[in-house]
Structure 1
């Protein structure tokens, strides 16, 4: 029997996951809640017949697994309500606006054995699987660099959520984008330790415009940098690992590339642009969510991993 999926928060992330769920054999979307009238209009045009229920509580009652894609300050209340009803939970990151609250939440969820995971899609990325396969060919890691550049923040497709994404309290590209690459680093190289950091903010309450950090991931030195107004493209990002026998990288989310003898990077034969790979990745995430809901063991990002990433992110952004 397919797992009944409920969605709380119908912005771009809720819409994307719904798109993957509508044709998924193991998951059936059953209900959505978002307080925005625009969200109800979009839902009616995208999935006629899928109900926009009057409250998050009503969605929790209708589902087996709850996907939480609302703003960060609401993540924990929705998740705790779902846990209390015996539901599995799939959260967006960060776990919460307040780091001490996130720590308490994770400790309580772990102690109760709650079924929960966090939507870091690199856990199901074919490009990341390719990087892992290549790592067996190029020896021990030496250094890692992470870069993320943006023409503007928020990105054009995020403007509907700019009321919080553009603000220092909950938004910014370090939380929204660099966190994914820190998760990937944690999975590939080991526990993260922040050594040095710097962040630049505009006057007022706006999100960061530049960050720089040095870290260790296990025994591997990491250099991280991000900035707004540093590219003419909407965004550009790279995760580049140099090893004793060669270099590999993940470029622009979905291109796994390996350095040739001439110094150029060659993409994997099955590489796809992110717009084409994203639906594949989300379907993989949903298959794992279905297994988690039914009591299986999966390799989705755990609450603990998400907390470790959030700890580093907030330390980078600290005043």
Structure 2
């Protein structure tokens, strides 16, 4: 078995900590955490609370120098500068989405990375989800006719994201369309094919706050897609459903379900709630990160897939309210 690759982490908020814990607890055969950097003072305390003794290094440059692959979990404005620095140093890159909040910058970055055959991927965990694999199996022999995507939140940002509210709650970099709906657009792209936005609308509060509701109609390789999302639409912290033909669905991130002859939804036998499924998904994502770093085949989201998703996301956000 190949030696674990050295993984560096820049950005030690919720996602950085989740991936580090997954690396230490579930993926030691694939990755070896080499170091973390985050300029926030609170990050040092959070890192010290994680067993394993992973060091907080002195700078982003120090993390890049210490790793084989850099995981970038900083806010979106920093994604491309950090990725460019890591790629220039000969490292592989694993990015959080979105690639950037400036579409032109994202397009240029992807073109440059593709031209030089960069080892780079984006963290869309549905690329490694057992629930998505179950949907794929159920889809065999099912002709796609219509897709419904619904997401809802009691509030935005969600309660567990309060530490990142300074940017997640703002229109410039945050919002649930970039943070959550992008995952379901990626799933749609993987399952059905290229996306084409036909109509969209987005509602915003006064000031610079992120969107409070969106509506959109798309096609995925000709299949009609109806997308809705909103804040204050559910008492749950987070609710979502991706429903194909009214027959199979992914619900609340991790439950693959199929409608029976009686009309009732039945879960897959191995279904788990998201908090129990997430470590398994991240383990498989990290297996893919190690393969990508070694130049081997993997199923992680490509930069091109992430850019296609971002094109749709930014077009929805730019649509404004429906007249």
TM-score of Structure 1 vs Structure 2, range by shorter chain: over 0.9
User: Which residue of structure 2 aligns with residue 10 of structure 1?
Assistant: 12
**Superposition TM-score, scaled by structure 2 size:** 0.96
Q: 1:107 aligns with which of 106, 111, 117?
A: 111
* 1:246-285 paired onto structure 2 within 5 Å: 247-285=247-285
Q: Superposition RMSD on alpha carbons, in Å?
A: 0.8
1:127 maps to: 131
One of 94, 100, 109 as aligned partner of 2:98: 94
What is the correspondence of 1:15-54 to structure 2 with a 5 Å cutoff?
Answer: 15-23=17-25, 24=27, 25-47=29-51, 49-54=53-58
Among residues 202, 214, 217, which one is paired with 1:214 in the alignment?
Answer: 217
Which residue does 1:61 correspond to in 2? 65
Deviation at 1:289, TM superposition (A): 0.5
- What secondary structure, in the 3-state scheme, does the structure 2 residue paired with 1:240 have? strand
- Aligned counterparts of 1:48 and 1:66: Cα–Cα separation in 2: 19
Report 1:124-273 matches (<5 A). 124-137=128-141, 139-242=142-245, 247-273=247-273
Contact 2:24 2:52 in 1 (8 A): no
Q: Alignment partner of 2:182: what SS?
A: helix
Alpha-carbon distance, 1:65 to partner:
0.5
Q: Deviation at 1:48? A: 5.2
Q: Measured at CA, do residues 48 and 281 of structure 1 come closer, stay the same or move farther in structure 2, by a change above 3 Å?
A: closer
d(CA) in 2 for partners of 1:104 and 1:220?
30
Q: TM-score, normalised by structure 1?
A: 0.98
CA distance in 1, matches of 2:137, 2:101: 36
Q: Secondary structure at the match of 1:204?
A: coil
Q: Return 5+ residue gaps in structure 2 as ranges.
A: none
Structure 1: 5+ residue stretches without partners: none
Deviation at 1:30, TM superposition (A): 1.0
State the secondary structure of the residue aligned to 2:114: helix
| CA deviations over 1:230-254 (Å, ceiling 9, x no partner) | 0011111000000xxx710000000
Quote the Cα distance in structure 2 between the aligned partners of 1:314 and 1:48: 39
**Contact 2:83–2:93 at 8 Å: present in 1 too?**
yes
The alignment covers a number of residue pairs equal to: 315
**C-alpha separation between the residues in 2 aligned to 1:16 and 1:49?**
16
The list of structure 1 runs, each at least 4 consecutive aligned residues, that deviate by more than 6 angstroms after superposition, is none
